[in-house]
Amino acid sequence: MHPEDTKRARARQLAAQAAADGDPGDWFETLYAEAQAGVSVVPWDDGEPNPHLRDWAARASLVPGVRTLVVGCGVCDDPGFLARLGCDVTAFDISPTAVAEARRRFADSGVNYQVADLLAAPPDWDGAFGLVVEIYTVQPLYGAARAAAIEALPRLVAPGGTLLVIARATDEDDPVRDPARMPWPVTKREIESIAGSTLIPRSLERFDDDEDPPTPRWRAEFSRPGAVVGFAADMRHAEGREGSA
């Protein structure tokens, strides 16, 4: 078995069972609790900020203080990375164990960690964030939960704000998704549909990462019309230029 398959075996087992049961979220808590007990691993806990987020942030001209939401944060350091850049960061996850561990691990980060569900986000988060960051949280969702997550993301973005999405990519228009092979890559149709009726697509990059073997990725930006919130005026989305597809 490939080392990556071994690392993901338990997570895939839990995800497949959740897909069969129509239970989109509880398996994350099971996995994090097992990892805390030392009997499982969280395959996406890399112990460092996502490199594709770092690359984006190096070009983004973030203005200190922009109210930022990190979706499905787990115990990664993406929220802390954004806080160190001066963002006012709230980060959430559906797993109480993950949130407790993130609070412990990053106690001095200044991040406001919360237990919450993207599919039932607090009403006061609607249109509240100048920057919303979603990395790898759509791709482990299956079926109706996946569609609901895609629909939920735009509601979090403030007028003038930006949604950044990073995900595994597939070139297939309508792939047959094996329930036992989580994560399920995101199609171009899915990534473009995130805009919904309220956001404007600003850039869509399709690239191969540096893993061995390389994994295809999407990095997409969407903005909500309105006064620009939390970014310098020379940002790509403020100028209305699109990246390569």
Domain chopping of the chain, boundaries: 46-233
Return the pLDDT at 4: 59
pTM tops 0.85, yes or no: yes
How many DSSP H helices and E strands does the chain contain?
8, 7
Beta bridge partners of 167: 218
Return the pLDDT at 176: 87
Return the pLDDT at 42: 95
Those residues of the chain that have pLDDT short of 50 are 1-2, 232-245
Residue in the structure block whose two tokens are 């398996």: 27
Task: With residue 207 as reference, give the H or E element that holds it.
Answer: strand 200-208
Return the pLDDT at 229: 57
Q: CATH for 46-233?
A: 3.40.50.150
Please write down the long-range contacts of 15-18, taking CB distance under 8 Å and 24 or more positions apart.
15/140, 15/142, 15/179, 15/182, 16/179, 16/180, 16/182, 18/142
Q: Measured between alpha carbons, how far is 31 from 126 in angstroms, rounded to an integer?
A: 29
Decide: helix, strand or coil at residue 22. Answer: coil
What is the sign of the dihedral through the CA atoms of 239, 205, 183 and 33?
negative
- Write out pLDDT tens, residues 10-39: 999 999 999 888 877 789 999 999 999 999
Q: What is the DSSP letter of 90?
A: E
2 burial (CB, 10 Å; 0-12 / 13-18 / 19+) is exposed
- Write out pLDDT tens, residues 128-140: 999 999 999 999 9
**CA of residue 210 relative to chain centroid, distance:** 19
Return the pLDDT at 240: 35
Phi-psi region of 143 (alpha: psi -120 to 50; beta: other; left: phi over 0): left
Q: What is the DSSP letter of 78?
A: H
